Amino acid sequence: MSEENTEEADLVSDPDLALIDAIYQRRSVRGYLDKEVPQETLNRIFEIAQQAPSNCNVQPWKVYVASGDLKNCLREKMVENTAGGVTPNPDYPYRGDFEGEYCKRQIECAVALYSSMDVGRGDKEGRMRAVLRNFEFFDAPYIAFIGMNPAFGTTVALDVGMWAQNLMLTLVAFGLHSCPMGTMRNFPDLVREAFDIEDDTRILFGISFGYEDGSVAANETRTTRDPITTNIVFRST
């Protein structure tokens, strides 16, 4: 961040929302108002997210935030590709063949979302429309593409994930919402072209964000979390 941007960030009053409240209030929002966020507020949000931990403090995340005409151009191209059946070419392959308890949670999440959107099991047109909403960035005024150098492996990708969690919680603290989106890795060449990325950065995922539109049915979706005994083991001997 430049000295000028840092000075602007210092003028923003930090919110008084407790961390625990931000954690519980964060959820994937799939519908946004056409309302911009002041640049000084964005600077402050990303400055706070920048405090994420990373292995040996390498800070591997590379983040490209599109808005305005650039965002609309990317949206148009990604929707056209997806609707036209263009094969995705992600830098990092997606695995959706979950089994057992993981498959059960995946199905429950899909049922919750499609039920909120009134999309039935056999409604192919409705399901395709739901897919395309991803590439419309859910009408968010901002879409952040997050990547890293391919020389880093899985362990460093975890650092990028910790940065993303910082960002999403900070957005909530400032009265904003977000949606992490694995689909944003589908057409990485469009992102590299849009941002003139000439190094070896590879796109991991994206995050749409902005002010929530409470009238969007998909935003009524809620998912649950298992009790900690499902995932956590405490042992002293």
Structural domain spans, the chain: 3-8+16-93+135-222
Which structure tokens are listed for 30? 């799939």
Q: pLDDT at position 9, please?
A: 45
Confidence of residue 153 (pLDDT cuts 50, 70, 90): confident
Q: pLDDT at position 229, please?
A: 97
CB atoms within 10 A of CB 197: 18
Mean pLDDT of 66-82: 98
Mean pLDDT of 75-96: 95
Q: Does the pLDDT value for residue 146 go beyond 90?
A: yes
d(CA 67, CA 75): 10
Q: What percent of the chain has pLDDT over 90?
A: 89
d(CA 81, CA 87): 8
Which structure tokens are listed for 217? 């049915």
Q: Does the pLDDT value for residue 5 go beyond 70?
A: no
Q: pLDDT at position 10, please?
A: 54
Confidence of residue 1 (pLDDT cuts 50, 70, 90): very low
Mean pLDDT of 32-52: 98
Longest C-alpha distance within the chain, in Å?
59
Q: Name the more confident of 219 and 5.
A: 219
Q: Does the pLDDT value for residue 181 go beyond 60?
A: yes
Q: Do 130 and 114 contact (CB within 8 A), yes or no?
A: yes
Confidence of residue 7 (pLDDT cuts 50, 70, 90): very low
Q: Which CATH superfamily is domain 3-8+16-93+135-222 in?
A: NADH Oxidase (3.40.109.10)
Mean pLDDT of 111-140: 96
pLDDT digit string, tens, across residues 166-180 = 999 999 999 999 999
Amino acid code (one letter) for 35:
K
Query: Could you tell me which of 213, 174, 176 has the C-alpha nearest to residue 9?
Result: 174
Q: What percent of the chain has pLDDT over 70?
A: 95
Query: Could you tell me which of 73, 77, 49, 81 has the C-alpha nearest to residue 63?
Result: 49
Mean pLDDT of 191-199: 95
Mean pLDDT of 22-40: 98
Q: Does the pLDDT value for residue 83 go beyond 80?
A: yes
Confidence of residue 133 (pLDDT cuts 50, 70, 90): very high
Mean pLDDT of 138-149: 98
Q: pLDDT at position 186, please?
A: 98
Q: pLDDT at position 199, please?
A: 83
